Amino acid sequence: MDELLSVDDVAARLQLRPRTVREYIRAGRLRATRIGKQYRIHIEDLKLIERGTVAPSPDPGDTAATRTTASVVVRVDAASAEQEQRISSLLNVSGAAPRVALQIVSMPDYHALQVIASGPLDAVLTVLTTINNALEITCD
């Protein structure tokens, strides 16, 4: 199982303040899982930052449109196993949804798939387009 670190643990390893680490998470520079009211960071995601492969910080000169964020919940009812696999595969591909925090939940009792996406508006729209395209392909 992957090792999960707290914000304080990551801050100590990166020699940053915990507040800065939380800002990285909110900006999409560092992936984290929210457990209750606290963030937990996978050790692998921390290693990406330590290697310097983290996305560059947002340019302060960006327009308001690029700073607009969105959180959406998409529930696909009566999702077939093929649709679930296609959507999960497309969204989990490295780089398929940069800057977006994704949670993909299969609900077999309801024959449904739920995708929660949070991040910059343009990136979340890309996720929605990907889901739509995957559904259209599997419906044919």
CA–CA dist 106, 113 (Å, integer):
5
**Residue 65: predicted pLDDT:** 45
Number of residues that this document lists for the chain: 140
What is the chain's pLDDT, residue by residue, as a tens digit (140 residues)?
468 899 999 989 888 899 988 888 887 778 888 888 889 988 888 777 766 544 444 455 555 445 678 888 999 888 788 878 888 777 776 455 677 888 888 888 888 889 888 888 888 888 888 888 777 776 65
94-132 b/e (C-beta count within 10 Å ≥ 16 → b): eeebebbbbeeebeeeeeebbbebbbbeebbebbeebbe
Q: How far is CA 120 from the centre of its chain?
A: 11
List C-alpha distances in Å: 11 to 21, 34, 99. 6, 17, 20
**Residue 53: predicted pLDDT:** 45
Token pair belonging to 104 = 């993909």
**Residue 95: predicted pLDDT:** 55
